[in-house]
C-alpha cells in the first residue's frame, strides 16, 4: 500500500470495521508503534447516539453524519503530525465523508467472522454496545473498494500480531502481490484496493 510512498508516521490511519472487531485494542497499539496520537471513535458520538445504541437500535446515516464530521475534523487536524483514529466507517459513503475532510487518510479494515467477533463482544465487560447490534453492523458493512487507500487485516491472531501485520501492510514498498512466502493466508492480511497493491 502507500501508493504515494509516504511514511506511515505522518499519515492519519483510520482503523475501521464492525463493532467489537478490535479497533480500540489494535488502534492503540498502532499509535504506540507509530508514536502518534490515538483517538477513540466512541468519544466523538453525541450522547444521543450512545443512548440509541445502548437501547439496541442501530444508528442510521443521519445519526452518523455529525460523528463522522467530528472524526474527519480530528483527522484533518492531525494531517501534519499523523495519528490513528478508530471509526467503524462501515459504508463507502462514510469513508468518502471522512476523506472529504482529510483527503490522505489510509484505512486499516479489521476483519473477522461474526462468530468470533460475537464471542469477543460477549466477553467484553463495560461497553455500551450490545452484541445484538452485530448483525446490523455486518449488514451495513461495505468493505474497502479497489480505489480506496487501505489494507485489510484478519483479527484471528492476537492483538500484537494484528498490529504488526497492519504496520507491515502499511509500510511503503509492501509487496503489491502476495508472494509464495507471504500469502494473505500466511500473513493474515488481505490486501484490498489500489493502495494495498502499491
Helix and strand counts by DSSP (H, E) for the chain: 9, 6
Backbone φ and ψ for 188, nearest 5 degrees, come out as 80, 5
Q: Taking the complex as a whole, how short is the minimal distance between the CB of residue 155 and ligand ATP, in angstroms?
A: 5
Per rule CB under 6 A, is residue 110 in the interface with ligand GCO? no
Distance CA 130, CA 193 (A): 31
Residue of 37, 40, 66, 129 that binds ligand GCO (CB under 6 A):
129
Q: Which of 17, 20, 15, 18 has the alpha carbon at shortest distance from 124?
A: 20
Q: Does 59 bind ligand GCO (CB under 6 A)?
A: yes
With binding defined as CB under 6 A, does residue 42 bind ligand ATP?
Answer: yes
Q: Which residue is nearest to ligand ATP (CB)?
A: 22
**From the list ligand GCO, ligand ATP, none, partner contacted by residue 79 (C-beta under 5 to 8 A by kind):** none
Place of cell 463522522: 68
Our finding on whether 24 is near ligand ATP (CB under 6 A) is: yes
Tell me how crowded residue 148 is: count the other CB atoms within 10 A of its CB: 20
Which one of ligand GCO, ligand ATP, none is in contact with 59 (Cβ closer than 5 to 8 A by kind)? Answer: ligand GCO
> Does residue 141 bind ligand GCO (CB under 6 A)?
no
CB of 4 to ligand ATP, least distance (A): 27
Alpha-carbon torsion (79, 82, 88, 90), positive or negative: positive
3-state secondary structure of 13: strand
User: Where do contacts with ligand ATP occur on this chain (CB under 6 A)?
Assistant: 19-25, 42, 86, 88, 120, 124, 129, 155, 158-159, 162
Amino acid at each position: 500500500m502507500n501508493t504515494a510512498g509516504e511514511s506511515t508516521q505522518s499519515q492519519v490511519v483510520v482503523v475501521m470495521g464492525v463493532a467489537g472487531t478490535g479497533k480500540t485494542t489494535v488502534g492503540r497499539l498502532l499509535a504506540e508503534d507509530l508514536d502518534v496520537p490515538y483517538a477513540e471513535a466512541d468519544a466523538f458520538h453525541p450522547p444521543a447516539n450512545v443512548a440509541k445504541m445502548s437501547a439496541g437500535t442501530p444508528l442510521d446515516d443521519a445519526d452518523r453524519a455529525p460523528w463522522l464530521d467530528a472524526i474527519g475534523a480530528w483527522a484533518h487536524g492531525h494531517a501534519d503530525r499523523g495519528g490513528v483514529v478508530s471509526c467503524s466507517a462501515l459504508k463507502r459513503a462514510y469513508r468518502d465523508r471522512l476523506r472529504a475532510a482529510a483527503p490522505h487518510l489510509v484505512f486499516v479494515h479489521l476483519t473477522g467472522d461474526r462468530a468470533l467477533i460475537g464471542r469477543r463482544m460477549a466477553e467484553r465487560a463495560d461497553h455500551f454496545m450490545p452484541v445484538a447490534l452485530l448483525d446490523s453492523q455486518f449488514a451495513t458493512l461495505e468493505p474497502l473498494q479497489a480505489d480506496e487507500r487501505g489494507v485489510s487485516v484478519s483479527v484471528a491472531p492476537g492483538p500484537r500480531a494484528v498490529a504488526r501485520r497492519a504496520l507491515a501492510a502499511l509500510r511503503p514498498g509492501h509487496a503489491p502481490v502476495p508472494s509464495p512466502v507471504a500469502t494473505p493466508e500466511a500473513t493474515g492480511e488481505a490486501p484490498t484496493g489500489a493502495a494495498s497493491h502499491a
